[in-house]
Amino acid sequence: METVRIGEFGRHVGAEVRVQGWLHNKRSSGKLQFLIVRDGSGFAQAVMAKAAVPEAAWGAGERAGQESAIALTGKVKEDKRAPGGFEIDVTGLELCQEVHDYPITPKEHGPAFLLENRHLWLRSQRQHAILRVRHAVVKAVRDYLDDNGYTLVDTPIFTPAACEGTTTLFGVDYFDEGQAYLTQSGQLYNEATAAAHGKVYCFGPTFRAEKSKTRRHLTEFWMVEPEIAWAHLEDALKLAEGLVCHVVQYVLDKRREELKVLERDTARLEKVKAPFPWLHYDDAIKLIQSKGSQTAWGSDFGGTDETVIAEAYETPVIVHRFPAAIKAFYMEPDPENPVYSLSADILAPEGYGEIVGGGERMSSYDGLVQRLREHELPESAFQWYLDLRKYGSVPHAGFGMGIERVVTWLCGIEHLRETIAFPRMLYRIYP
RNA sequence: UCCUCAGUAGCUCAAGGGUAGAGCAUCCGGCUGUUAACCGGAGGGUUGUAGGUUCGAAUCCUACCUGAGGAGCCA
C-alpha cells in the first residue's frame, strides 16, 4: 500500500493509503473516533468506526494522546465537512509511540510558555503556516534575483574589528587574532564582490546586539542584500520595488491556504503593485508633524511615525534622501544638496514598518576617507574597502531587506518572533 | 539603559486581609458525524524568592528574580 502525504490527498481520492504522522487532536463518540492527524504536509481528519477496524486499532486510538506518533491506513475521500476538504476512513491504526502529557493543549497559552516550548510549538497549525510562508518568501527572493542576473556571493559571518562601530556587535574570541564580531551586514563585502560580478547579493543571518525589546526586533535575523555596480539610488530602489512585488505575488499565489489559516486579509496584499510612491524625507517630516508627531527635522522616524507615513498609501512607500547626519558613513551625499544622502527606506503598509533600507554608496576615495574620520573609524581596518575606491570606482548602490519583517507583514501577525523557527531575542536564547 | 504591566494546579485565569477555585490537559466512565466536541466522576498547590506588617497574608509593604509590552536604535 502506498504511503501518501496529506498534502497530496487530492491525487488519491478513493484509494486506500497509508499515512504516517502525529495525532494533533482527537474527539470520540462511543463507536466513532475522529483523529486529527498531521504529517508535516497538512492536517487531515481520520474517522475510525469501531465496527470497521480490528479491536487493537480501536484500542490504540483510545489510548493515543495528543502528539502520539501514529501510522494509519484508510480510504481517502472528499468531504466538505472536514477542514481541508478531505477525510480518511480508517481501516487500520498503529500506535508507534503513545504520548499522554503533551504540554501544549488545544486551549490558549501565553507567549512565555510557548517560547519556552518553541521546539513543540512549531507543530501547531499556525506556526506551520507561518514557516511555510517564510519558505515561499525566501524562494521568491532567490528566484527573482537569480532570474535577473544576480550572482549569489555570500559574505562572511565573522568580521574583523570595527566594521561599522562596535556598539551593536556581538564579540567572539578569534584565536590569536583577538576579538572578532558577528556580522551585522554583508554590504561592505558586497561592494567588493559587486566589482567582481556586477550584480550580486548575499543572503544570510545577521546579528545585532542592540538591546531592543520590541516586537520588531530579533538579535539574529535573516537579510537579503543585493548590490549593483554602475547603479544609482533609483536603480537600487527599482530593484527593491520589483523584488517586493514579486515576493508578494508569489506568496499570494503559492500560500493561499496558509494565509487563510492565519486569517490574513489578502485584499491589502493584492494592492501591492509597482510603482511605489516616492516621498522626500522633508515631506515625510511635514506629513507626520501635521498628524501630531513630535519628531523634528534631522531625526529618524519612530515606530508610530512609520505607521503614520505608511497609512497615507495603499502600497509600500519609498522615503528617500534622509539627512546624511543620521545615516551610515558610506552613504553618497545628494549632489544637489549634500545635507541629504542618497538613501531610502521602504515602509510596508499597515504599520509593519521598515522592510528595506539602502542607498547609493560613496564612490569617491577622498570623500570616504573624510567620512571615516568624521565617524572616528580606524582607517587601517578599512584599507581594503578604500581600495575599492582606488581601483575602478564606479557609482554603485544596494539595499537590505529583512526577511522576518517581510514575513510578519505578509502573514499579518503581531510579532517578529513567530517568523523564524528559533527566535533569538534580548532575553531569550532557549531552546 | 529607561518606562509600564504581570508572576496562584502542567497550561489559561479567578479569589484583593478570614477554609485556594474554574476551564483545558491527565486518569476513569458515557455517547455512531465530532469541529478548541459534549456529559458525569477522580487526582493535582511551600500562591516567583527573601524579609516585614498583622491574631491571621495569594491579598498590604520592601528588596530581588523572571517574563511581557513599549521607548531609544534598527531590518
A65: its cell numbers: 494522546
Please indicate, yes or no, whether residues A143 and A70 belong to a single structural domain of this protein: no
Q: Are A36 and A97 in contact (CB under 8 A)?
A: no
In a domain, A113, yes or no: no
In a domain, A110, yes or no: no
Last residue of a domain, one of A63, A97, A131: A97
CA distance A325 to A338: 10
Q: Which of A 390-409 have CB under 7 A of nucleic chain B? A: 400-402, 404-405
CA distance A136 to A140: 6
Please indicate, yes or no, whether residues A164 and A287 belong to a single structural domain of this protein: yes
Domain assignment of residue A296, given as a range: 119-419
Task: Indicate which CATH number applies to the domain containing A13.
Answer: 2.40.50.140
Q: Are A33 and A61 in contact (CB under 8 A)?
A: yes
B67 C1' to A355 CA distance, Å? 28
Please indicate, yes or no, whether residues A132 and A88 belong to a single structural domain of this protein: no
Q: Are A358 and A194 in contact (CB under 8 A)?
A: no
For residue A105, the model assigns a pLDDT of 84
Q: Which of A 173-202 have CB under 7 A of nucleic chain B? A: 185
Please indicate, yes or no, whether residues A206 and A345 belong to a single structural domain of this protein: yes
In a domain, A80, yes or no: yes
Q: Is the CB of A77 under 7 A from strand B?
A: no
B42 C1' to A74 CA distance, Å? 36
Cell numbers 484500542 label which residue? A59
B43 C1' to A383 CA distance, Å? 71
Dihedral angle, C-alpha A368, A370, A372, A377, nearest 10 °: 160
Bases of chain B within 7 A of a CB of the protein: 1-2, 10-13, 23-27, 30-38, 66-75
What is the number of structural domains in chain A?
2
For residue A177, the model assigns a pLDDT of 82
Please indicate, yes or no, whether residues A261 and A386 belong to a single structural domain of this protein: yes
In a domain, A25, yes or no: yes
What ranges make up the beta strands (E) of A230-370?
278-280, 317-320, 343-348, 353-361
Q: For strand A86-97 and strand A396-402, is the pairing parallel, antiparallel, or unpaired?
A: unpaired
In a domain, A104, yes or no: no
Q: Which nucleotide is nearest to A225 (CA to C1')?
A: B75
Please indicate, yes or no, whether residues A310 and A402 belong to a single structural domain of this protein: yes
Instruction: Please report, as a single letter, which amino acid is at residue A353.
Output: G
Please indicate, yes or no, whether residues A35 and A155 belong to a single structural domain of this protein: no
Cβ-count burial A12-27 (b if 16+ within 10 Å, e if not)? beeebbebbbbbbebe
Q: Which of A 225-264 have CB under 7 A of nucleic chain B? A: none
Please indicate, yes or no, whether residues A303 and A387 belong to a single structural domain of this protein: yes
Question: What is the spatial order of strands in the sheet that A179-182 belongs to?
Answer: A158-159, A179-182, A171-173
Q: Which of A 109-168 have CB under 7 A of nucleic chain B? A: 109-113, 115, 168
In a domain, A429, yes or no: no
For residue A164, the model assigns a pLDDT of 57
Q: Are A244 and A271 in contact (CB under 8 A)?
A: no
Last residue of a domain, one of A44, A63, A97: A97
CA distance A410 to A111: 21
Is ipTM > 0.85 here? no
In a domain, A27, yes or no: yes
Q: Which CA-bearing residue is nearest the C1' of B72? A: A212
B1 C1' to A163 CA distance, Å? 24
**Cβ atoms < 10 Å from Cβ of A382:** 19
Non-local (6+) Cβ contacts of A227 within 8 A are: A187, A190, A191, A193, A194, A199, A200, A201, A396, A397, A398
Task: Indicate which CATH number applies to the domain containing A158.
Answer: 3.30.930.10
CA distance A334 to A282: 14
For residue A161, the model assigns a pLDDT of 64
Please indicate, yes or no, whether residues A89 and A176 belong to a single structural domain of this protein: no
Please indicate, yes or no, whether residues A414 and A349 belong to a single structural domain of this protein: yes
For residue A395, the model assigns a pLDDT of 97
Q: Is the CB of A101 under 7 A from strand B?
A: yes
In a domain, A205, yes or no: yes
Please indicate, yes or no, whether residues A85 and A126 belong to a single structural domain of this protein: no
Q: Which of A 303-362 have CB under 7 A of nucleic chain B? A: 303-304, 306, 326, 345, 353-357
Q: Give the C-alpha distances (Å, rounded to integers) separating A428 from A211, A424, A425.
A: 12, 6, 5
Please indicate, yes or no, whether residues A132 and A26 belong to a single structural domain of this protein: no
Q: Give the C-alpha distances (Å, rounded to integers) separating A165 from A18, A169, A208, A209, A382.
A: 57, 8, 12, 12, 12
- Tens-level pLDDT at each residue, chain A (431 residues): 899 999 999 899 999 999 999 999 988 888 899 999 999 998 999 999 998 999 899 999 998 989 999 999 999 998 877 767 789 999 999 999 988 888 888 877 888 888 888 889 999 888 999 999 999 999 999 999 999 999 999 999 998 865 555 567 888 888 888 888 889 889 999 999 999 999 999 999 998 888 777 888 888 999 999 999 999 999 999 999 999 999 999 999 999 989 988 889 899 999 999 899 999 999 999 999 888 888 888 888 888 889 989 989 999 999 999 999 888 889 999 999 999 999 999 999 988 889 999 999 999 999 999 998 888 888 888 899 999 999 999 999 999 999 999 999 999 988 899 999 999 888 788 88
